[in-house]
Structure 1
Amino acid sequence: MVTSLEYAIKHNLKMSIPYLSYYATITCCRAFLYTIPENTWSYSKNGNKKFLEMSHSTIINCTGSYLNRLDTVFAENTKKTIKDLKEWRELFSYKFPSSGLSVIRNYDVNEIIEICSIMCELAQLSSEQIQKYVSKKCMYNYEEWAEPEVDLMEAGFMYNDIIDPEDAFRVRYLSRKQPSPVSIYYTMTEGMVEDYFGAWQEEGEDNYDPDEEWQIIFPVP
């Protein structure tokens, strides 16, 4: 989404800029929250995966709350920016002001990159701590908890009644090869990353090329 945002800016695709700016940011916030051990992966009464399907308001508030433990000023500024991006996206998804993007503040792509990068790095840091804790404290009863939970695994490749075969392959590969928690970085291989970005590529002069900046917000392999 971030490299798509750069492409949209370069090619004057203004209508997509608020959408890509906001969803790139909120997705990185979700990644961060997924690595916080205090969050319970619970289910709602109707069987939905409550934690995995957090509302955007919940994501924003929880992100602000956890960031507040690191730096109150940074947390406040980040939360405000994400809320402003949400309002920006909603404005240009449902309304069409005559002034275009200039009707409110237009966020620079570097601001989006900075927030996304920080959230991804924090997610990586948190996942490293989880890996470290599990390896030291939880391996004595490994057999009791190592069996993957099928319902939670399915959340990684099922979208309502749509199944992504590539996602399914990756999730099941990880469950076989690395059933205990590891840091985000070690869930990736160079081939996996290449296949992922390649799925968004179309040949043609001046077409969007997702292969140009793999590491724009995170040092993927």
Structure 2
Amino acid sequence: MKYANREWFYSYRKIFNVCSEKKMVSTVDKISKQYSGLTRNWTTSTNSEWTCRHYLATKMILNATVLTNALDFSSSVGMRIANPYFEYYATLSLLRALVYTIPSKSWDEGELISISHSKAINLAFDWLAKFDTATANKLKSLTLQLKSQREVISYRAPASGDSILSCSYDLFELLIILAEAAQLNSELLEASVKKNASHENFVVEYKHTQQISMLEVEGFTFCDREDSYRLDYIQRKQPYPLNLALTMTEGQVEDFIGSWDDSEEGGFNAGSPADWQKIFDIP
């Protein structure tokens, strides 16, 4: 689609309505200059880091998709106690997706992956404020509301159940704008890489893939073989940062979402690809 003096790969649903076209042109130009600062000094390590950051961001979009499908399922079977978790953690996933694409945010040897909730909230909405401060403030307030409602269930065990919680908000407006802000960033980085970077640096390094596929939490180590497989594919087939919609593959999407399906009758099922498009145009 064409908008703000550019051709865009992705067909955006909401983010171009956040501000005027004139403001969008100005904001996109400023962000592009930030990416140019990166890509004019592009190295093998920088390339590897940002390719992995984009892969991580796609996983966060897919995770939010699974969580919102689980939200639909829990509502349909009367498990409302889980709904505040699904709503907030879908939002947190997309906050992180956006943060992973912010050019000024350091990878910090992989520590960015587990950025705290409060930092993710502040960084993401500071970034959205570049487009429109009022929208950023409104969506940040909603995110804090979702966080507080999840904490009410977790820490106070309300005797009134969820009747004291609010549901008068547009969850998907929030989720779509966050996902699209990350996608927009990724398109600008991809364009800058193609313009400024040398193909000699299009390498994905093992240290970055291992930081994603191997993790330790509270002394317990987890190895994600599917991450290793997908990152190996990226190393061989697309070893530089493409935009998020292009980074996703049909195989990745089907395996990620399908891994949460329950084979038992009446269990959770994420549905068909037609059910996966509420937040993002997933291949």
TM-score, normalised relative to structure 1: 0.89
What pairs with 1:38-57 in structure 2 (closer than 5 Å)?
38-43=104-109, 49-57=110-118
Q: Aligned partners of 2:242, 2:144: CA distance in 1, in Å?
A: 31
Deviation string, structure 1 residues 63-82 (Cα, Å, up to 9, x no partner)? 11111110011000111111
What pairs with 1:39-78 in structure 2 (closer than 5 Å)?
39-43=105-109, 49-78=110-139
Contact 2:172–2:278, Cα closer than 8 Å, also in 1 = yes
Q: CA deviation at 1:166?
A: 1.0
**1:125 lines up with 2:184 in the alignment:** yes
Contact 1:197–1:211, Cα closer than 8 Å, also in 2 = no
Contact 2:183–2:245, Cα closer than 8 Å, also in 1 = yes
SS at match of 2:113: coil
2:249 maps to amino acid: T
Aligned partner of 1:2 among 47, 68, 92: 68
Contact 1:113–1:216, Cα closer than 8 Å, also in 2 = yes
Q: Aligned partners of 2:279, 2:264: CA distance in 1, in Å?
A: 26
Larger RCO (CA under 8 A, 6+ residues apart):
2
Q: Aligned partners of 1:167, 1:153: CA distance in 2, in Å?
A: 8
Deviation string, structure 1 residues 123-176 (Cα, Å, up to 9, x no partner)? 11110110000000112xx32x33323332123222311111111100121122
Query: Number of residue pairs matched?
Result: 211
**1:91 lines up with 2:152 in the alignment:** yes
Deviation string, structure 1 residues 72-131 (Cα, Å, up to 9, x no partner)? 1100011111111111111111221111112232355xx222211111111111101100
Q: CA deviation at 1:188?
A: 1.8
1:119 maps to amino acid: L
Q: Aligned partners of 1:154, 1:114: CA distance in 2, in Å?
A: 34
Aligned partner of 1:36 among 102, 121, 136: 102
Larger helix proportion, structure 1 or 2?
2
> Unaligned 5+ residue runs, structure 1?
44-48
1:167 maps to amino acid: D
Q: Percent identity?
A: 35
**1:209 lines up with 2:275 in the alignment:** no
Q: CA deviation at 1:54?
A: 0.9
Aligned partner of 2:195 among 114, 127, 136: 136
> Unaligned 5+ residue runs, structure 2?
1-66
2:248 corresponding residue in structure 1: 188
1:9 maps to amino acid: S
What pairs with 1:19-34 in structure 2 (closer than 5 Å)?
19-34=85-100
